[in-house]
Amino acid sequence: MALLQIAEPGQTTAPHQHRLAVGIDLGTTHSLVATVRSGRPTILADENGVLLLPSVVHYQVTGNEDNLTPQTIVGHKALDVAISDPTNTLISVKRFMGRSKNDIKFDHPYELVGQADEMPAFMTAQGRKTPVEVSADILKTLRIRAEKALGGELIGAVITVPAYFDEAQRQATREAAQHAGINVLRLLNEPTAAAIAYGLDHINPSQTPNQTDDERIQVIYDFGGGTFDVSVLRLSKGVYEVLATGGHTALGGDDIDRLIVGWFIEQIGQTNPSPAEQQALLQAAKQVKESLSTQENVTVTINGKSLTLTVTIFEELIKPLIDRTLAVCKRVLRDAKRKVEDVDAVVLVGGSTRIPVIQRNVEALFQRTPLCTLNPDQVVALGAAISADQLVGNGKDGALLLDVTPLSLGLETMGGLVERLIPRNSPIPIVRQQEFTTYRDGQTAMLIHVLQGERETVEHNRSLGRFELRGIPPMMAGAARIMVSFQIDADGLLSVSARETTTGIQSEIAIKPSYGLSHIDAERFLTDSFKNAQEDKDLRNLLETKVEVERELMALEQAIIQDQDLLTEEERTSLHVSIAQLKDALNTNQLANIQNCTDQLKIHSDAFAALRMNRSISKALKGTSLTDWR
């Protein structure tokens, strides 16, 4: 009798086959690809043994007019021509991913085309190139590197994204991977990836099972080339739970470089440098920044003038940026309902954390020496590789990852109010449902308007998308039952559906905005929600009152049309005068005035309601005898 082999769902049926999967850190400045070999995560090198791939792409066209050949160069060779051909050499393209043209406020040498409220494209020698296409070229290079190193085709990859990337930016990353021929197993938040690398790497086998199961609170301080994230994670019994997260999608080492460039320009008295000069200044700034991590001062020659930048001046220049990151750390701790003394470890991630003054400030805030035993440039890719290995069934002990959504999600209700379905810092994946109803009699369609943010009204939040549910059976206002579902998958991508429960008709939308949330807006949403909490509460109370009053006025006016014969001329006049006064009060937006006019109207409307009730009862009893009710 032959034995049957039983395999876990999603795992290989060949017991000794190792499925090829990788983790990719698609960074602003550099990108890496890693895999798990012999149970250990390893960064994969190119043919020259180089691990880091500069996230730089150069587009050129070779040949003559009759035979033009497009040529795309990625990595170090592209970086070499950045100064000589800056407009066709795209650097730090991650800062453009999933963001509108209006959101891009920083200096750059590129010609951007497209609508102001759409993700822009770069004009290059090869024509239009979107940030998604540029990122796809970087990812394709990493895929080819991995397949050469591993000797086979990849099953898939886990690609990391900043925790504060919104739906548009995550969707843009996934589309870039698809263009590069990569099956995305999961989009993983960078801080979570770092926690995986450190969490699995620092378990001491000599510890007892009870000790390893103890809850540990870790803070991941991720200061990379173009983004900053901080996350508070709880690690317990193989579960990595993100308690809270925050950061900026446009704050990183690039901004430090620009501050140094600004200092250069100020010292030499130069204004309006050309794109080539700007690129040369940026490269000089990067070298100076890296040197100051180990030296007290660095001297460079800019336009024939010798400049010496000391550590003291450098630290003063970047102090505002550091202070912004520390403010985010404090806010995220509050969101996680944790204090500094609750933190067991602080992990440093990203190349910018090599700067000594940043390490000192982080240590001072959290009152403990931060962990940096793993290379901060590599730790995210290593964690992603471990996650990928587990997802394809190679790893034996998979960790459960519970990320969170950074901003609240909800939809518009009557009066311009926002009904919040998923609060910020809710663990994902998540599904939330809520029942809504119609506002008017006979309403057969409903507009579902999806919003993101922390304020109480539509105008103060960001619109993510709209769709219509049609075919609702005509009923009395409030009789229809519309079930709206919000679902965020493990990648942080949102889909929304609406279903009328009696007929089963349904409509849905996958949220794919053409632009991302700018770091300024993300920060504004949070700070404004704190500053205007009482004002928002009062405004919500006012708007809810107005919606209810308008609904009652609509019903009353309809009733007057139907049963006006029950009223004397004087009673009709009194009702109409009170109705007009209440409508005027609604325009004043003064709650006390509205409530006062409502009370005055109630005196007349209650008497009318009693007359209508008597008529209804009389009609119901007409033609029956007393014995019918015994």
pLDDT band at 314 (very low <50, low <70, confident <90, very high): very high
Whether residue 1 is predicted with pLDDT greater than 70 in this model: the reply is no
Q: With pLDDT > 90 as the criterion, what percentage of the chain qualifies?
A: 24
**Model confidence pLDDT, tens digit, residues 111-142:** 888 887 777 888 998 888 988 899 999 999 99
pLDDT at 302: 86
Q: Rounded to two decimals, what is the model's pTM? A: 0.61
**Model confidence pLDDT, tens digit, residues 43-74:** 999 989 999 999 999 999 887 777 778 899 99
DSSP 8-state secondary structure symbol assigned to residue 8: -
**Model confidence pLDDT, tens digit, residues 468-484:** 888 888 888 778 888 88
Whether residue 14 is predicted with pLDDT greater than 50 in this model: the reply is no
Mean pLDDT value across the chain: 80
The full 3-state SS of 186-227, as one line of letters, equals EEEEHHHHHHHHHHHHCCCCCCCHHHHCCCEEEEEEEECCCC
Whether residue 215 is predicted with pLDDT greater than 80 in this model: the reply is no
pLDDT at 196: 85
Longest dimension (CA), the chain: 113
Q: Which fold has domain 21-203+212-252+317-403?
A: Nucleotidyltransferase; domain 5 (3.30.420)
Q: How far is Cα 169 from Cα 452, in angstroms, rounded to an integer?
A: 14
103 vs 134: which has the higher pLDDT: 134
Q: Contact at 8 Å (CB) between 431 and 486?
A: yes
Torsion of CA 110, 140, 401, 422, to 10 degrees: 40
What is the residue type of 622?
A: K
Domain 405-531 in CATH 3.40.50.1110? The answer is no
Q: Which fold has domain 534-621?
A: Substrate Binding Domain Of Dnak; Chain:A; Domain 2 (1.20.1270)
Neighbours of 377 (CB within 10 A): 22
User: Position of tokens 């009759």?
Assistant: 66
Alpha helices in 81-159 (DSSP H): 131-150
Residue 120: cis peptide before it, omega within 30 degrees of 0: no
Catalogue the E-assigned strands of 294-395: 297-302, 305-310, 345-349
**Mean of pLDDT values over 315-341:** 93
Give catalytic residue positions.
25, 94, 190, 222
pLDDT at 144: 93
Nearest to 401 by CA among 414, 390, 413: 390
Whether residue 13 is predicted with pLDDT greater than 50 in this model: the reply is no
**Model confidence pLDDT, tens digit, residues 158-208:** 999 887 777 778 888 988 998 899 999 888 888 888 888 876 434 443 343
pLDDT at 305: 87
Nearest to 162 by CA among 359, 406, 495: 406
Annotated domain spans of the chain: 21-203+212-252+317-403, 405-531, 534-621
Among 310-324, 343-357, 364-378, 572-586, which is the least confidently predicted range?
A: 572-586
Among 60-64, 274-278, 386-390, 413-417, which is the least confidently predicted range?
A: 413-417
pLDDT at 226: 77
**Model confidence pLDDT, tens digit, residues 535-594:** 666 766 777 777 777 777 777 877 788 777 777 877 778 788 888 888 888 777 777 878
Q: How far is Cα 225 from Cα 110, in angstroms, rounded to an integer?
A: 19
Pairing between β-strand 494-500 and β-strand 506-510 as defined by DSSP bridges: antiparallel
